Structure 1
């Protein structure tokens, strides 16, 4: 029967496909001429209704069955590329004949171009499935009859309502939202958000609608306003932000030709142009669009919080009496509540006091909806006079000095417009994108992440993650000053000029007007000015050189400043992107910190680098591994001080254990091991020196797909190369233990074939770099001692990049001694220590720089 039915449907399918295509094109043309979301979404639902009902009838479905639209389709809102979800409701279990008719119908729906999601159930099966799955329960909430038995549909609705536990539904949807937020890092401010699923997206609004329907509170925003769950203004705001997000999603579907909901870099500029958004003198059109998106998402999360709390008041009316805190505030159902409606008008200081109370009273989970609403309405009372009031300044400092809740307080103040009113310079960075592909957050969210990281250093539950940081910050007098520095370190981003210098002015003004002691003011201002200095020295300078460490220590000046800068740098790097921080960067910072600390405590440069201690520690480790005293002398006599300064005691001991019995071998020795930080592999190569050795090694590692985080190149007194590498899998997919044997075996075989060079593929650029190209920069300058030259370069990261650099240098007769590789998202900032005759001649130096720039072009 099925084959006959499918054959009979073929003429109908062709006609339906043509009709669907033509009518969809008409809808699109009408939308693009006069963009109205309701006309498009409802029009597409009606258009699909006609074709689905037509095929249902053509398939001769029984009269006692019902065809229902569910999900967004049931709501009567169908986006251009959205799935069409249907439910076939049967009075009893499906017979073979019904199954065949359904199969033919669903196949026909796919054939005409619809993405169909379907289920076939009886009423009992629907109720049972809904009890086990909140998604099915939600879909049934919006079910709409398309065709078939009205009485069967009515019975389903009645049974569904009888079994629906509104309180359980409310809690389940809240939990669902929390889980969704966790998947998207609790932030609407990612650079490539999902306009449907991310916090502040359409799903947040849909969830509010579902709970309202389930609780019988209304079917639209106007219904909620009539019930005084929101104000008329908030109803208008909700409709406005909903329309904007719908427009974005519609445009995305049309632009990509599929159900794409992510605002990828690939689409942002095109979307802005389609939506009539113009670039400004300082910002791309895509940045203007995304800032508007972030403002919208922020408003959605605010209104979502307000409405959820108001729903809770209706759904759970019996949650106890109010507990009075003071004349202004009380506790209602674990929420902070204002005691009078005009509290913020009568007591403006309460605009800050409410956040302080949330910090001081651990039983409070947030604020009541009416308090949040009043806070938002009255935020503009924070003006110049408010900011000048000593009481208000003292309250703000108190918020920074509390033992708990600081990050929550500042996130709430940012979300509800209080922070931007109190710190006017903050207003400029809200929703500001950072197109360096290094920061994955907007500027304001990055600053709050740095504040969060700084706070975590003080918390016992995180001490195992940052033991040194915890020890340092807990011994740091008035460590809340570091929070002030964190707030201001990037506050001048996007103004043009050096944001570190510009931010100093803002930080100094804040400290002075808030009455900070001059010593504390100077510390905060200095930290803002130098917040990038330590990362620069650690990642780009040769910190095994005593003069480099001395130069850094002179900038720092005091141990208190050193500790403060170390803490801020650590928190700052970790607050840029989950992908940027790694254990190796942590080790670089830590080594520089301890070397500078010893210098500031009066040690000589040699003592600061701990050379004598390092050698003693290395000997101790050799004894620990059972090697007799003096066993190291033969190898160590071939190594100079530079080698010992550039390697840790543990690395020296490891190299010695491998080489002490064969320091003159003519065979290559390759050893690899897990890095101490356990997020990479250390590789040691010992071989008679050979032409283009570094080029060959970078080619080999590049072919295997590894990123080189660090390279130390050394030549012994008897002409052997002793090179060390720190490798990492950029995709995070490698099992490092599995590749150690592979590296040792293959690299040894590779090195015994002189002249053979592995040429890694250049690979493809990431799509981010394509949309935000990075202009290569190259600088070669002599170091202060005049013994070496320092090559600094910036370029877009790609496979084979280090090989290209090494090959170019080698072709000009330039010898590389160390390489510091800093990968910042999609950008690399690498530093190399070089020697070579070509570097001493201006014309030759210019040729080298030009050659490097040509190889760095993408």
Structure 2
């Protein structure tokens, strides 16, 4: 496909010189020349690759030049090898008509797009039948290429075989479509090309397009089905090189174009679209070439560690609020987005060309579906179109209106109109942005009841969204360089709006029953949608994105037409959009002060309803698997407790009533063992009854009664706990210092990841500790063997049968990719978050047994851990401990606190992990 002219070709490979030196080696060594020839060719290949690598480093974005250069290098090498095979090894002065051979480049090599470690895909075409001479030459060439370390994909076929196979096999059909003459019998290649057009292409155009698009859709599904995944595949991912290839293949098959530039001549692209096609292709090829050079292999996944290195190689600099890697990836996603919009326009044109052809022939010749008119727009075949080329120029507000109508009437925007909107998006100026009608239309679209997500995505692809809401334009294609966020900021935001729409329609009632109820109780649904739009709007600006986002909300909401009270509520939600998830996941919800502080910030039922809805869609829109039943349960518990407090006010007797109600529920659950609620439950403190859900209390009481009856010093119970999507591990033992860190170590050794821990001591001095445990991939231990392993591992740790520290250090980190990120450990002490405890929060890189190491420091510092809460955000872990000293008092500021902080930071640091691993 590349039409790039390679500069200074002889510096890459001087074919004349290499051929002359081969002649000389054959003359000097005769039949023993082979090893010398291999050495010569190896040297020439390495020299060529080194020259191309040097050029890539020098001109870091020269994708076409690098890919074309590698194809040129292989071309020259093949020509020399072919000439050596046919001149020195198997000369044939009087070849028969059958003894004809041509070498054809196929695949990426055929397009002249080779990354440094790409396969060399070649097709040997022979005349009427495969003769001994042809087979000898092909074999000699292949052995030489293998000796040079080339990874060769090859086939040898007669013309008849090639034509027959390509009719039945899409892969072969595509490979031959890209076939490029390299060397050998030119007339044979030309004959094959003619026959391919007449026998394979003619009459099969529509079938080829259908099959290629089905193949593309299957590939997208395999790769995550979004062009905004944060570790994209440059070649096969959505918006990647393969999507550009698909356009070229379809254009070439239908119109027989020889180069991508000809797609303009046949009306599939405008000149401007073709230029952006080439820019995207050049950038993606450059990234792929850098990937191959850095990894030393054919690697196409743009992983986090590679992103950082390639950003450096491609000279991206830091900017305020944006790292070099985030700037590099933003450009990557902008190109991927462009590939997506080009694909839409291109395929629509193909459709129209097929329709036009059908309309000119057959039964429906001369018949055309009549368009209807909606507010001046043409609507036909489920698509809405601008009636004239100057439609948006006459009134730029129509750039918003067309998308609003499309959402309201469930129409697609015609691709030609998408192209017009893209071209005319620059007409959106301050006057349009402040236009009352334009803002009313935009708000109607945003809060649309059909599918605002899809239409906002179209609006984003044309650039209209970013022009109308410039703050949104700033986060367009912006990635967040971490392992928690799966999508770019704009994609995450649009997905959040789509989830809100699904919740409102009741489509996610199973996962989000509370949000499904609450969305119909809020006073203003517009607030919910605008808050979803603006919650991350200020990311990448430097500073706290919640605070900056609230300022943006104060500016934008009145413009959109929201009232003063709605504006205040949206700004509050943006400012506090992380409050509920952080409180639920990082604080002890049984501590009255946690609820008091939370309610003190929320202050009203309306705010609480909106915050619960926004929190649910925000977490879920982060990516697959980030929402789970455990998070749902924690958020639900916080919502219910806060709602009750807001409704009833601060009432101490509410606590006693709550415990009494829970005891009654537990007694009912226990059935014929109902008396345990009082007899055994009386040994548990109030905090236990508030902390634990009724079903866990029922399990605990039965377990505790049995352990005491049998006078067991240690009793461990493990079972799959479906409600939380985790495994419940309950340990009953005589309470002693260090118990917590040893249990945690045993769980980690068995491969468990602790997601929550509740630590209790009965009035008789027995520890009753509940842990929720998942495997490293977020699943539960459910098999009998896994549960037994957990139990044995905890027993060994508590009995001192294993030396925990070195054994834990040997366990591999579940997410080794976390090494690509700089996560400096941070320790926060908070004496205001609880009336009884000091709250210590440790933020650090996630690693094996982090909880165990931190808990050990607390034990050695003579502190008592009363509860622990574990949260993971991709590569980052946030572990929170509620502690007192041995006398039951809070930890006061001073030298001791400083020493503990230093020890916790050391325990959480990379240097400590490296030292333990190498010990």
TM-score, normalised on structure 2?
Answer: 0.86
Deviation at 1:137, TM superposition (A): 1.8
Cα 1:647/1:37, change in 2 over 3 Å: closer
Distance in 2 of aligned mates of 1:591 and 1:282: 36
Does residue 247 of structure 1 match 2:293?
no
After superposition, the C-alpha distances for 1:4-44 in whole angstroms (9 at most, x for unaligned) are: x9988544333322222223333444555567544443343
Whole-angstrom distance in 1 between the partners of 2:299 and 2:862: 51
2:24 alignment counterpart: none
Q: Given the superposition, is the C-alpha separation of residues 468 and 21 from structure 1 closer, same or farther in structure 2, using an over 3 Å criterion?
A: same
8 Å CA contact retained: 1:488, 1:528: yes
Q: 1:598 to 1:102 in 2, by over 3 A?
A: same
Asked if the contact 1:715–1:721 (Cα under 8 Å) also holds between the matched residues in 2, the reply is: yes
C-alpha distance in 2 between matches for 1:464 and 1:580: 16
Matched residue of 1:482: which SS? helix
Among 698, 701, 713, the residue aligned to 1:653: 698
Render the CA deviation track for 1:731-768: whole Å, top value 9, x for unaligned.
Answer: 35775324443246414642672585533433566555
Task: Note if 1:228 corresponds to 2:267.
Answer: yes
Residue in 1 aligned with 2:528?
A: 482
Moved more, 759-768 or 636-645: 759-768
Question: 1:355 deviation in Å?
Answer: 0.7
2:594 equivalent to 1:558: no
In the TM superposition, what are the counterparts of 1:731-770 in structure 2 within 5 Å?
Answer: 731-732=777-778, 736-743=782-789, 745-747=791-793, 749-750=795-796, 753=799, 757-759=803-805, 760-762=807-809, 763=811, 768-770=817-819
What is the distance in 1 between the residues matched to 2:740 and 2:464? 56
TM-superposed CA distance for 1:288, in Å, is 2.5
The aligned counterpart of 1:52 is: 78
- Indicate how the Cα distance of structure 1 residues 381 and 21 shifts in structure 2: closer, same or farther if over 3 A, else same: same
2:324 to 285, 288, 293: 285
List aligned pairs for 1:776-787, cutoff 5 A: 776-783=825-832, 786-787=835-836
| Alpha-carbon distance, 1:695 to partner | 1.6
Q: Distance in 2 between matches of 1:499 and 1:593?
A: 24
Partner of 1:70: 106
* Alignment pair present for 1:620 and 2:679: no
Q: 2:268 & 2:825 partners in 1: Cα distance?
A: 56
2:674 is aligned to: 629
> SS at 1:82's partner residue?
coil
Between 1:473-482 and 1:568-577, the stretch displaced more is 473-482
How many angstroms apart in 2 are the aligned matches of 1:154 and 1:271? 42
> What is the alpha-carbon distance in structure 2 between the residues aligned to residue 784 and residue 278 of structure 1?
40
- Please state how far the C-alpha of 1:121 moved relative to its aligned partner: 3.7
The equivalent residue for 2:641 is 595
1:392 aligns with 2:438: yes
Contact 1:434 1:442 in 2 (8 A): yes
Greater Cα offset, 96-105 or 818-827: 96-105
Question: Is contact 2:593–2:835 with CA below 8 Å preserved after alignment?
Answer: no
- Structure 2 unmatched ranges of 5 or more: 1-29, 92-97, 360-367, 911-919
Post-superposition shift, 1:724? Answer: 0.6
- 1:756-799 deviation digits (Å, cap 9, x = unpaired): 55334335665554333111111223246642111111111100
Normalised TM-score (structure 1): 0.92
Contact 1:546 1:606 in 2 (8 A): no
The verdict on how the C-alpha distance between 1:513 and 1:147 changes in structure 2, with shifts beyond 3 A counting, is: closer
Question: Is residue 215–residue 315 contact of structure 1 (8 Å, CA) maintained in 2?
Answer: no
Q: 2:314 maps to what in 1? A: 275
User: Is the counterpart of residue 464 in structure 1 residue 489 in structure 2?
Assistant: no
- Once residues 511 and 286 of structure 1 are traced to their aligned partners in structure 2, the CA distance between those partners, rounded to angstroms, is 32
2:300 aligned residue (238, 242, 261): 261
Aligned mates of 1:756, 1:23 — CA distance in 2 = 57
CA displacement 1:527-549 (0-9 Å, x = unmatched): 11211111121112211123322
- SS class of match (1:834): strand
3-state SS of 2:499 partner: helix
How far off its partner does 1:48 sit? 1.4
Q: How many residues align?
A: 849
Match of 2:822 in 1: 773
Classify the secondary structure of the residue corresponding to 1:839.
coil
Q: Structure 1 stretch 171-180 or stretch 413-422: which is displaced more?
A: 171-180
Residue aligned with 1:637, SS: helix
What SS does the aligned partner of 2:648 have?
coil
Structural mapping, 1:361-510, within 5 Å: 361-362=409-410, 364=411, 366-510=412-556
**2:377 match:** 329
Distance across 2 between alignment mates of 1:272 and 1:785? 45
**For the structure 1 residues 814 and 833, does the alpha-carbon distance in structure 2 shift closer, same or farther, using more than 3 Å as the test?**
same
Counterpart of 1:820 in structure 2 is 869
Structure 2 residue matching 1:778: 3-state secondary structure: strand
Cα separation, partners in 2 of 1:369 and 1:558, compared to 1, 3 Å = same
2:854 alignment partner in structure 1 = 805
C-alpha change, 1:823 and 1:381, in structure 2 (3 Å) is: same
| Structure 1 residues 50 and 781, CA gap change in structure 2 (3 angstroms) | closer
Q: Is the CA contact 1:634–1:663 (under 8 Å) kept in the aligned structure 2?
A: no
Instruction: Show CA shifts across 1:657-703 (max 9, x none).
Output: 22323336233111111122463211001122234111211111111
Question: What is the root-mean-square deviation of aligned Cα atoms in Å?
Answer: 2.9
CA contact (8 A) 2:725 2:780 kept: no
The answer to whether 1:119 aligns with 2:171 is no
Partner of 2:118: 82
Q: What is the alpha-carbon distance in structure 2 between the residues aligned to residue 208 and residue 131 of structure 1?
A: 20
CA contact (8 A) 1:266 1:768 kept: yes
Change over 3 Å in CA distance of 1:491–1:39 after alignment to 2: closer
Question: Is residue 2:190 matched to residue 1:160?
Answer: no
Residue 112 of structure 1 and its aligned partner are, at CA, apart by 0.6
Verify: 1:135 aligned to 2:171, yes or no: yes
| Structure 2: distance between partners of 1:752 and 1:526 | 48
User: Which structure 1 residue ranges, 5 or more long, are not aligned?
Assistant: none
Say whether the 8 Å CA contact 1:672–1:740 is kept in structure 2: no
- Return the offset for 1:418: 1.1
* Deviation string, structure 1 residues 415-436 (Cα, Å, up to 9, x no partner): 2111111112222222333234
1:852 aligns with 2:904: yes
- Counterpart mapping for 1:560-709 below 5 A: 560-602=606-648, 604=651, 607=654, 610-623=658-671, 627-663=672-708, 665-677=711-723, 679-709=725-755
How far apart in 2 are the matches of 1:595 and 1:524? 23
1:124–1:481 distance in 2 versus 1, CA, 3 Å: farther
For the Cα contact (< 8 Å) 1:322–1:333, is it kept in 2? no
Q: Per the alignment, in what secondary structure is the counterpart of residue 316 of structure 1? A: helix
Residues 1:527 and 2:567 aligned together: no
Q: Distance in 2 between matches of 1:738 and 1:661?
A: 21
* Offset, 1:448: 1.8
* Matched-pair contact (CA < 8 Å) for 2:666–2:674: no
Q: Quote the offset at 1:190 in angstroms.
A: 2.9
CA contact (8 A) 1:689 1:715 kept: yes
| Alignment CA distance shift 1:618-1:198 (3 Å) | same
Q: Secondary structure at the match of 1:68?
A: strand
Pairing 1:25–2:50 present: yes
**Could you say which residue in structure 1 is the equivalent of 2:559?**
513
